Amino acid sequence: IDPGVAEWQANLAGLLGALGQTAEARYHFEQSVRLNPAYAPGRLNYARLLANMDQLAAAETQARASVDADPNLAGAHELLGFLLSAKGDLRGAVVELQAALRLHSDSARARYELGLALGRLGDSAGAQQQLKLAAESADPAIRSAALQVLQRLGK
């Protein structure tokens, strides 16, 4: 255990966040970033904490920094895509969600979010394709959400 190591700080922050101690978690994530700004998994988990706290602009900053630090981190692209979609940057969201799927093709969440973004952009065929794939997910929440959207679309 070494508080001078970014990974240690990020792991402690993740544990504190899981326990609902968000202020303490945020402090330790900030320490992790200070110690090693290029530690992408720590930035990604910090972005997730911020998103859960509805601090979407700050979450986007951390998710983007995570993508920049490790372009092969699928979860960072997925979260950034979700955050961009939430703020209405649908084209940016599509780019990030497609990157997430290139890196991790089984991500039902990325498929679901991509389906929603494509639908909002008017690409109903692309949206349906992604939502149908998401509806095959083992994750019951994603499966249910995708089926509900497909049902609304009449597909």
At 153, is the pLDDT very low, low, confident or very high (cuts 50, 70, 90)?
confident
Q: Which residue type is seen at 16?
A: L
Residue 18, class by beta-carbon neighbours within 10 Å (0-12 exposed, 13-18 middle, 19+ buried)?
A: exposed
The larger pLDDT score, comparing residue 4 to residue 25, is at 25
1 has a pLDDT exceeding 70: no
67 has a pLDDT exceeding 80: yes
Predicted pLDDT at 155: 67
Q: How far from 1 is each of 5, 18, 37, 106, CA to CA, in Å? A: 9, 19, 20, 35
Compute the distance between CA of residue 86 and CA of residue 115 in angstroms, rounded to an integer: 14
36 has a pLDDT exceeding 70: yes
118 has a pLDDT exceeding 90: yes
At 3, is the pLDDT very low, low, confident or very high (cuts 50, 70, 90)?
confident
At 141, is the pLDDT very low, low, confident or very high (cuts 50, 70, 90)?
very high
SS3 of 21-68: CHHHHHHHHHHHHHHCCCCHHHHHHHHHHHHHCCCHHHHHHHHHHHHH
